[in-house]
Amino acid sequence: MIKPARLKKGDKIAIVSLSWGGLGDEAFIHKYPIAKQRLENDFGLQVVTMPHALKGSGFVATHPELRAKDLMDAFEDTSISAIFCAIGGDDTIRTLPFINFETIRNNPKIFMGYSDSTINHFMMYKAGLVSFYGPSVMCEFGEYVKMFDYTVSAVKDVLFGEWAHYLLASSPEWTDDYVLWNENNVNIPHKLKKDTHGYEIINGRGTVKGHLLGGCIDVFMMAIGTKIWPSINEWTNAILFIETSEDKPSPDFIKWTFRNLAAQGILNVLKGIIVGKPQGEKYYEAYKTAITQVVYTEEHLHELPIIYNVNFGHAKPIGILPYGIMVELNCADKTIVFLESATLEVL
């Protein structure tokens, strides 16, 4: 896998709307200056907004080819060091016909987003580029009042930091409150509470190592069967990470999707699985039951380690998972350790 250059203060980042175009809608455009100022003032970055990122949800939905053009142009622009997604959505897959994988491969840089951006990450993976399942512009960088400290640390550690090994620690706090996106609510902070679970081992034992690969499980069905869905060889010895969207899919959906992964032969070649905290902890116990029914009871994969309640994706707060890098899961210690940096220092 090709690693992008590490971020440093003064670097230029591009904002793209590759799925839902709500960042440019009248009701939500107030989140843009919040995020832009935070990226500039708190992280020392220069923000460039690609030409169609703020065109609004109607325009963006109608023009998948222009969404893809923004992405390709951002990769080709040698002055840009990173590309951050505005938000997810539900139709990034429509941009697939307009993606040039050679452009991505030949111009490696940081790409970050989550949710429907899973599709983009599979594109990056096909191109051979390490990408970052992490904060989006509207949700995290555009958070009212302040970003979560856990997320700020993740951005600074993973995108800016230099290290050989990195412990992905569990967030000691979380929230299930909901602050409506409305300009009248910009001064309302989230109320955090203590996480009483920490990481849970819901299957398996021992210590395993593998490369990270996965995303939002809701999105998998749009990628399966396409040219960006990883081959069985690419899943072999991987650590699958999955999380669920704000739609809070039913436990049956999770069970059916895991059965599909089993039918493809994927579950049998994995080294381990990381499962994100469900948003608001809805179906917290039911998801565990659905997953273990397939993995343990039906597929008899009794030794396959599964670490549950990890802070990424649609949980609050979230960290960052880099695609393709080697990680270690230790069931006895309940730890997740990145065994290599996901970025390169460029002098």
Overall domain count for the chain: 2
Residue 47 has pLDDT above 90, yes or no: yes
Q: What's the whole-model pTM score?
A: 0.97
Check whether residue 149 and residue 212 sit in a common domain: no
3-class DSSP state of 254? helix
Q: Which of 265, 260, 262, 276 is nearest to 316 (CA)?
A: 276
What whole-number distance in Å separates Cα of residue 163 and Cα of residue 174?
Answer: 26
CATH of the domain at 266: 3.50.30.60
Cis peptide before 322 (omega within 30 of 0): no
| Residue 96: φ, ψ to 5° | -55, -40
Taking a C-beta distance cutoff of 8 angstroms, is the pair 18, 57 a contact? no
Within a domain: 230: yes
3-class DSSP state of 267? helix
pLDDT tens digits for 66-83?
999 999 999 999 999 999
What is the domain range of residue 181?
A: 167-338
Residue 19 has pLDDT above 80, yes or no: yes
Check whether residue 156 and residue 249 sit in a common domain: no
Q: Which of 163, 182, 208 is the last residue of a domain?
A: 163
Taking a C-beta distance cutoff of 8 angstroms, is the pair 239, 272 a contact? yes
Handedness of CA 270, 276, 277, 278 (dihedral sign): negative
Check whether residue 154 and residue 262 sit in a common domain: no
172 burial level (CB within 10 Å; 0-12, 13-18, 19+): exposed
Check whether residue 196 and residue 98 sit in a common domain: no
Question: What region, left, alpha or beta, does residue 280 occupy, with left being phi > 0 and alpha being psi -120 to 50 degrees?
Answer: left
Looking at residue 346, its pLDDT comes to 79
Within a domain: 75: yes
Check whether residue 295 and residue 193 sit in a common domain: yes
Looking at residue 203, its pLDDT comes to 98
pLDDT band at 28 (very low <50, low <70, confident <90, very high): very high
Report in angstroms the alpha-carbon separations of 120 from 201, 212, 229, 240. 30, 15, 11, 17
Check whether residue 178 and residue 314 sit in a common domain: yes
Mean pLDDT rounded to a whole number for the chain: 98
Within a domain: 346: no
Residue 230 has pLDDT above 80, yes or no: yes
What whole-number distance in Å separates Cα of residue 318 and Cα of residue 277?
Answer: 9
Check whether residue 114 and residue 144 sit in a common domain: yes
Within a domain: 108: yes
Within a domain: 347: no
pLDDT band at 49 (very low <50, low <70, confident <90, very high): very high
196 burial level (CB within 10 Å; 0-12, 13-18, 19+): exposed
Would you give the DSSP letter of residue 157?
Answer: I
DSSP string computed for 161-192: ---S-EE-PPPSEE--------GGGTT-----
Q: Which of 163, 181, 201 is the last residue of a domain?
A: 163
327: β partners:
210, 338
Q: Residues 168-182: what's their mean pLDDT?
A: 96
Residue 347 has pLDDT above 70, yes or no: no
Check whether residue 198 and residue 52 sit in a common domain: no
CA of residue 84 relative to chain centroid, distance: 11
Q: Residues 156-181: what's their mean pLDDT?
A: 97
Q: Residues 313-317: what's their mean pLDDT?
A: 97
pLDDT band at 263 (very low <50, low <70, confident <90, very high): very high
Check whether residue 120 and residue 38 sit in a common domain: yes
pLDDT tens digits for 96-114?
999 999 999 999 999 999 9
3-class DSSP state of 320? coil
Handedness of CA 133, 138, 141, 145 (dihedral sign): negative
CATH of the domain at 55: 3.40.50.10740
Q: Which of 13, 91, 2 is nearest to 324 (CA)?
A: 2
Which residue in the block uniquely carries the two structure tokens 């959906």? Answer: 253
